[in-house]
């Protein structure tokens, strides 16, 4: 990797990664258009995305996904889809994270762009070669696209298969650029990937949605190489647990307004809890950087009002970039 991680290099093939069975955890090998394990479990693709949720995981995530999708659509995170290729809205996705062409979440995307650039600068300074990167909770894949353009081998994993907000959005990038990255439907707490193959695992605005933080951190550590790094960014952190619960309560109220189950509203991360769970997972050295706060206004009507209420009541969330390094030599 050159010292300019944003230098665009065009990859013409989808990078190949080693997958494992989400049911029995045996290695998966490709058999035509499917992946299969020695126990007989078989998994197919949808539009180039490996479908690697376990049967139990699919059932457990169905309720969350239904509510999450409804609220995301209502809040304007997904662009309307007037045609099968999102052509009329492609510019929105291609501009992320530098610009929010919808105008709905300008400050949020400004923060995400700033955090992304800071993260990239740190990776540039520490890891001098092209990296194997797992984008954990990749959403619409904007970060996977940016990292792949820089020459990295990227695997995007998410449970979100929404055509305008999840892994299928990659077709917008693929239809317009030669850059490619791999995609797999899978869970944070049961990653469908074999051990020790990534230099970096990046959880971008996603880790606070898991209800199994310990398992998710163990899985991230498992797929990292020794000396690799888990990077968490754009998730709300609190030192005051009561303040964090206030934020979650407000978010659940928003879900009620949309007539959706409140258990899909996400949560928050505690500084102490995250540090303890990371250490237990074998991510022993933690580097906290850039503990920025969102502004009180201009982050969308809901976030702006919530930040003002939290400031009146006590501690607002911070959004640090957290580097947690796997034990062992890099």
The residue extents of the domains of the chain are: 42-325
Query: What's the pLDDT tens digit per position in 3-17?
Result: 333 334 344 689 999
Rounded percentage of the chain residues whose pLDDT exceeds 70: 86
What confidence score (pLDDT) does residue 298 get? Answer: 27
Residue 261 burial class via C-beta count within 10 angstroms: exposed 0-12, middle 13-18, buried 19 and up: middle
Query: What's the pLDDT tens digit per position in 159-206?
Result: 999 999 999 999 999 988 888 999 999 999 999 999 999 999 999 999
Residue of 122, 102, 101, 100 lying closest to 111 (CA atoms): 100
The residue-averaged pLDDT of 206-223 equals 95
Residue 40 tokens, joined = 């007989």
What confidence score (pLDDT) does residue 307 get? Answer: 46
Q: Provide the CA 228 distance to its chain's centre, in angstroms.
A: 17
Confidence band of 329 (pLDDT split at 50, 70, 90)? low
pTM: 0.88
pLDDT at 322 over 50: yes
Query: What's the pLDDT tens digit per position in 225-272?
Result: 999 999 999 999 998 888 888 888 888 888 888 878 877 778 889 999
Measuring CA to CA, how many Å separate 242 from each of 3, 221, 237, 314, 317? Answer: 43, 29, 12, 9, 11
Q: Which CATH architecture has domain 42-325?
A: 3-Layer(aba) Sandwich (3.40)
- Sorted by sequence, the CB contacts under 8 Å of residue 193 that are 6+ apart come out as 17, 18, 19, 20, 134, 155, 157, 184, 186, 223
What confidence score (pLDDT) does residue 314 get? Answer: 58
Length of the chain counted residue by residue: 330
Q: Kindly state the helix (H) or strand (E) to which residue 135 belongs, with its residue range.
A: strand 132-136
What confidence score (pLDDT) does residue 262 get? Answer: 76
What confidence score (pLDDT) does residue 50 get? Answer: 98
Could you tell me which residue, 305 or 55, shows the higher pLDDT?
Answer: 55
- 30-39, 65-74, 156-165: which has the minimum mean pLDDT? 65-74
Distance CA 321, CA 250 (A): 24
What confidence score (pLDDT) does residue 86 get? Answer: 60
What confidence score (pLDDT) does residue 239 get? Answer: 87
What confidence score (pLDDT) does residue 206 get? Answer: 95
Q: Are residues 17 and 193 in contact, defined by beta-carbon separation less than 8 angstroms?
A: yes
Confidence band of 106 (pLDDT split at 50, 70, 90)? very high
Distance CA 43, CA 295 (A): 44
Q: Provide the CA 120 distance to its chain's centre, in angstroms.
A: 15
């Amino acid at each position: 990797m050159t010292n300019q991680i944003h230098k665009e290099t065009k990859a013409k093939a989808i990078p190949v990664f080693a997958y494992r069975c989400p049911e029995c955890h045996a290695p998966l090998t490709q058999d035509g258009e499917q992946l299969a394990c020695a126990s007989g479990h078989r998994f197919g693709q949808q539009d180039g995305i490996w479908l690697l949720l376990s049967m139990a995981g699919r059932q457990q995530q169905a309720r969350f996904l239904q509510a999450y999708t409804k609220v995301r659509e209502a809040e304007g995170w997904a662009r309307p889809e007037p045609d099968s290729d999102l052509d009329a809205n492609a510019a929105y996705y291609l501009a992320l994270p530098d610009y929010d062409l919808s105008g709905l979440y300008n400050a949020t995307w400004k923060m995400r762009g700033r955090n992304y650039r800071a993260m990239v600068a740190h990776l540039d300074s520490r890891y001098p070669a092209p990296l194997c990167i797992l984008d954990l909770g990749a959403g619409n894949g904007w970060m996977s696209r940016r990292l792949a353009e820089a020459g990295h081998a990227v695997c995007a994993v998410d449970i979100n298969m929404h055509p305008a907000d999840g892994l299928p959005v990659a077709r917008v990038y693929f239809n317009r650029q030669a850059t490619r990255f791999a995609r797999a439907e899978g869970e944070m707490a049961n990653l469908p990937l074999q051990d020790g193959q990534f230099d970096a695992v990046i959880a971008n605005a996603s880790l606070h949605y898991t209800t199994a933080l310990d398992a998710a951190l163990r899985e991230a550590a498992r797929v990292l190489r020794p000396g690799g790094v888990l990077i968490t960014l754009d998730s709300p952190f609190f030192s005051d647990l009561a303040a964090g619960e206030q934020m979650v309560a407000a978010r659940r109220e928003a879900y009620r307004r949309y007539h959706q189950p409140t258990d899909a509203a996400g949560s928050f991360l505690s500084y102490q809890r995250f540090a303890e769970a990371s250490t237990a997972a074998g991510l022993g050295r933690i580097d906290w950087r850039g503990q920025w706060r969102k502004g009180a206004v201009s982050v969308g009507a809901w976030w702006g009002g919530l930040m003002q209420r939290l400031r009146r009541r006590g501690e607002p969330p911070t959004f640090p970039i957290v580097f947690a390094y796997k034990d062992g030599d890099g």
